[in-house]
């Protein structure tokens, strides 16, 4: 591999950290990084896993290199064309105009071991996922189903289930894998894949995983927050999916480890992928409160199939009702702590800030760490901007989901006039209740009105919560959990209205299209004789006669 860290343009004016002091075998000479980089994969069979959490010195060294690169002191690590590809993909997402190559660059800067991981991750996605996904970011790969695909089935087909990554996709051999329990458990143990599958009661739950960034686009279009293309990825309304997850409850495994010590309050999950925060690499690490071990599944199957690499193979956590961020993929360690995880994904991200908190004043500790996902719903059909031809009723469909515990979606309502009047989805128009999963719904909404209409939806949960009215009501600096009433603007054409029917017939006669709406009408709406006739009959006078 023609890997190089050599920099041709080194500015001596900038001060940079000296990696020599950190590792003893690396130096910057005239801008050239020399010496072997120490970053190594941890064990055979664990491709894509570097144990950053055990190597604080490696983290510092990696940060020194990335800091230097950020100051323009190192030449580009990209192969010709790759950067452009990443950036181009990032421009395709809902908000557009974001950098798409920053995270590939981090990996490629850090030497031969990590250099190919971005490209490999894309190969894995191509192999495992549907071509119909809507891409949000090429690397770390993030993608969601289309609006048409997502509401076809209650159980999302695996290739269409959204993917949310913070880093590379590790490729871990089942035989090499083990899950290690540590910290404040009475009898720390390590469990092999074989044991996990055969030594404990197996449970399957139907559970929706929803990203806390779901519907973030709506907040971003209103006002951008901390717009990091990865951390605050611009999701539309499909960053969620439902699957039957099979595994062992976390409670069972903790019991196997002799239970928790008295002061244990949180359970920390370690994911094997590499993830960068402020130029510093780490593994993906977050935590959940201990009481969530009761319904959390340590899962090895998704819809009856072994987990794919993209979704966390061989084993992931599935934490029902919580934001997706807690459902750690490529899980290899669980540690009982007396406080929430201090790792950045827990303590510096997935925070909910107040309106008065922003770039001007925020501290991490000002935000609360998001646990349960609030009630939300969205209209998947018709689509924003669509022209809808109908006979007085418009068929609307979408999803509704609520997180939390002891909670489910009870009712969904749709308004054809921006929230003035609401029509409930009938019982036969909504899919069955689950403890932890969404409901898909369809309703025919009476719509005599024509022209541009503002359709909106809201759901109610079993605890009588519903959704905020405006995006602004829930706007927050990190743009999390957008759950205000979802709005779409449609152009309504009621073909039972005689004037509309006549216009459509006229257009048809001339083989002229009606759409797009904003393009001027392609035919004369009335002839001169008709117009003059109306004047003569006194129907059009500009001023009163007397
Ligand atoms: N190890 C690891 N686990 C992870 C993540 C990650 O980047 N790394 N992303 C989390 C987030 S933010 C979400 S929303 C879900 C998405 O799960 P999926 O990709 O299987 O849909 O995984 C979670 N688990
Ligand atoms: Mo997420």
**Is pLDDT at 5 greater than 60 in this prediction?**
no
Q: Is the model's pLDDT at 223 over the cut of 80?
A: yes
**Residue minimizing CA distance to atom 18 of ligand 1:** 163
Closest-CA residue to 281 (of 464, 50, 494): 50
Report which protein residue has its CA nearest ligand 1's atom 21.
163
The backbone torsions φ and ψ at residue 523, rounded to the nearest 5 degrees and listed phi first, read -125, 165
Identify which of 329, 370, 401, 481 to mutate to test ligand 1's pocket (most ligand atoms within 8 A of the CB): 329
Report yes or no on 442 lying in a domain: yes
| Average confidence (pLDDT) over 407-417 | 98
**Measured in angstroms, how far is the CA atom of residue 220 from the centroid of ligand 2?**
16
Which among 313, 288, 337 is positioned nearest to 196, based on CA atoms? 313
pLDDT at residue 492 is higher than 60: yes
Residue 224 has pLDDT above 70, yes or no: yes
pLDDT digits (tens, 9 = 90+) for 263-319: 999 999 999 999 999 999 999 999 999 999 999 999 999 999 999 999 999 999 999
Check whether residue 200 and residue 263 sit in a common domain: yes
Distance CA 55, CA 52 (A): 5
Number of domains forming the structure of the chain? 3
348 shares its domain with 439: no
265: domain CATH number is 3.90.420.10
Residue 24 inside a domain? The answer is: no
Rounded Cα distance between 39 and 23, Å, is 11
The region, left, alpha or beta by phi > 0 then psi within -120 to 50, assigned to residue 418 is left
> Which of 310, 318, 325, 482 to probe ligand 1 with, by most ligand atoms within 8 A of CB?
325
| Phi and psi angles of residue 245, each rounded to the nearest 5 degrees, phi first | -100, 130
Ligand 1 centroid distance, CA of 164 (Å): 5
Same domain, 294 and 346: yes
pLDDT (0 to 100) of residue 540: 86
Does a structural domain hold residue 2?
no
Higher-pLDDT residue of 34, 30? 34
Report pLDDT for 9: 28
C-beta 271 within 6 A of ligand 1 = yes
In-domain check, residue 159: no
Q: How far apart are CA 79 and CA 535, in angstroms?
A: 72
Q: Minimum-distance ligand to the CA of 346?
A: 1
Ligand nearest to the backbone CA of 213: 2
300 plus 410 within the same structural domain: no
CB 293 less than 6 A from any atom of ligand 1: no
**Chosen domain end from 353, 384, 406:** 353
| Structural domain that includes position 525 | 498-536
Q: Nearest-CA neighbor of 143 among 82, 245, 211, 220?
A: 211
Q: How far is CA 276 from its chain centroid?
A: 17
Clarify whether residues 466 and 381 are in a common domain: yes
Beta-bridge mates of residue 445: 394
Q: Quick one: 198 and 324 in the same domain?
A: yes
- Whether 452 and 502 map to the same domain: the answer is no
Same domain, 302 and 189: yes
Do 346 and 487 share a domain, yes or no? no
pLDDT above 50 for 32: no
Look at residue 18 in the predicted model and tell me its pLDDT.
32
Task: Look at residue 297 and tell me if it is in a domain.
Answer: yes
The answer, yes or no, to whether any atom of ligand 1 lies below 6 A from the CB of 341, is no
In this structure, what CATH number is given to the domain that contains residue 417? Answer: 2.60.40.650
442 and 327: one domain?
Answer: no
**d(CA 349, ligand 2 centre) in Å:** 10
Any idea what the Cα angle at residue 295 is, between residues 291 and 296, rounded to 5°? 90
Describe the strand order of the beta sheet including 163-164 as a list of residue ranges: 134-137, 142-144, 163-164
Using CB atoms within 10 A of its CB, is residue 513 exposed (0-12), middle (13-18) or buried (19+)?
exposed
Residue 361 structure tokens: 């004043």
Ligand whose nearest atom lies closest to the CA of 162: 1
Q: How far is the CA of 271 from the centre of ligand 2 (A)?
A: 14
E runs forming strands in 420-480? 423-424, 439-446, 451-461
In a domain, 211, yes or no: yes
Name the residue among 22, 273, 2 with its Cα closest to residue 111.
2
Is residue 4 over pLDDT 60? no
Q: Residues 379-392: what's their mean pLDDT?
A: 97
451 in Cβ contact with 491 (< 8 Å): yes
Query: In percent, how much of the chain has pLDDT > 70?
Result: 92
Q: How many helices (H) and strands (E) does the chain have?
A: 14, 27
Q: What is the pLDDT of residues 112-154, one digit of tens each?
A: 899 999 989 999 999 999 999 998 888 999 999 999 999 999 9
Report the distance separating Cα 158 and Cα 138, nearest Å: 19
* For residue 91, pLDDT beyond 90: no
pLDDT reading at 515 higher than 70: yes
Q: Is residue 31 part of a domain?
A: no
C-alpha closest to that of 204 among 148, 266, 246: 246
Kindly give the distance from the C-alpha atom of residue 336 to the centroid of ligand 2, in angstroms, as a whole number. 23
The per-residue pLDDT for 411 is: 98
Would you tell me how many other CB atoms lie within 10 Å of the CB of residue 460? 19
Cα(361) to ligand 2 centroid in Å equals: 25
**Is 161's C-beta closer than 6 angstroms to any atom of ligand 1?**
yes
Does a structural domain hold residue 118?
no
Residue of minimum CA distance from atom 20 in ligand 1: 311
Identify whether residues 312 and 382 lie together within a single domain: no
Q: Which of 124, 165, 232 gets mutated to test ligand 1 (max ligand atoms within 8 A of its CB)?
A: 165
Span 382-401, mean pLDDT? 98
Distance 3 CA to ligand 2 centre (A): 33
Same domain (yes/no): 224, 300 = yes
């Amino acid at each position: 591999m023609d890997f190089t860290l050599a920099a041709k343009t080194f500015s001596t004016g900038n001060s940079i950290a000296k990696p020599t002091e950190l590792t003893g075998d690396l130096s910057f000479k005239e801008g050239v990084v020399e010496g072997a980089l120490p970053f190594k994969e941890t064990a055979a069979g664990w491709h894509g896993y570097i144990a950053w959490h055990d190597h604080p010195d490696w983290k510092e060294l990696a940060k020194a290199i990335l800091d230097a690169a950020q100051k323009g002191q190192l030449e580009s690590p990209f192969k010709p064309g790759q950067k452009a590809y990443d950036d181009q993909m990032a421009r395709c997402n809902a908000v557009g105009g974001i950098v798409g190559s920053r995270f590939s660059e981090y990996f490629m800067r850090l030497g031969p071991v990590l250099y190919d991981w971005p490209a490999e991750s894309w190969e894995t996605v191509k192999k495992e996922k549907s071509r119909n996904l809507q891409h949000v970011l090429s690397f770390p790969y993030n993608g969601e189903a289309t609006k048409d695909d997502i509401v076809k089935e209650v159980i999302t087909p695996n290739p269409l289930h959204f993917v949310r990554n913070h880093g590379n996709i590790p490729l871990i051999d089942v035989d090499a894998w083990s899950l290690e329990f540590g910290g404040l458990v009475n009898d720390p143990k390590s469990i092999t894949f074989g044991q996990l599958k055969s030594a404990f009661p197996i449970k399957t739950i139907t559970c929706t995983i929803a990203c806390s960034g779901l519907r973030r686009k709506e907040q971003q279009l209103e006002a951008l927050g901390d717009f990091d293309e990865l951390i605050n990825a611009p999701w539309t309304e499909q960053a969620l999916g439902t699957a039957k997850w099979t595994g062992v409850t976390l409670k069972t495994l903790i019991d196997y480890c002799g239970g928790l010590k008295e002061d244990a309050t949180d359970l920390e999950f370690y994911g094997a992928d590499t993830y960068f925060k402020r130029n510093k690499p780490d593994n993906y690490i977050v935590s959940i409160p201990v009481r969530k071990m009761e319904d959390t599944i340590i899962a090895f199957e998704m819809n009856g199939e072994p987990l794919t690499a993209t979704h966390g193979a061989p084993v992931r956590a599935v934490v029902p009702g919580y934001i997706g961020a807690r459902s750690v993929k490529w899980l290899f360690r669980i540690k009982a702590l007396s406080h929430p995880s201090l790792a950045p994904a827990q303590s510096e991200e997935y925070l909910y800030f107040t309106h008065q908190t922003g770039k001007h004043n925020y501290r991490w500790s000002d935000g609360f760490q998001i646990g349960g996902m609030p009630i939300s719903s969205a209209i998947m059909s018709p689509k924003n901007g669509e022209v809808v031809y109908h006979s007085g009723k418009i068929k609307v469909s979408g999803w509704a989901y609520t997180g939390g515990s002891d909670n489910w979606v009870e009712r969904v309502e749709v308004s054809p006039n921006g929230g003035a009047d609401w029509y409930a989805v009938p019982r036969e128009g909504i899919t069955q209740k689950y403890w932890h999963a969404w409901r898909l719904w369809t309703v025919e909404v009476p719509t005599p009105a024509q022209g541009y209409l503002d359709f909106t939806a809201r759901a109610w949960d079993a605890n009588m919560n519903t959704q905020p009215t405006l995006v602004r009501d829930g706007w927050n600096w990190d743009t999390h959990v957008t759950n205000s009433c979802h709005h779409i603007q449609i152009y309504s054409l009621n073909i039972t209205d005689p004037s509309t029917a006549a216009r459509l017939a006229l257009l048809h006669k001339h083989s002229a299209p009606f759409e797009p709406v904003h393009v001027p009408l392609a035919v004369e709406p009335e002839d001169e004789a008709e117009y003059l006739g109306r004047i003569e009959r006194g129907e059009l006078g500009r001023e009163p006669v007397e």
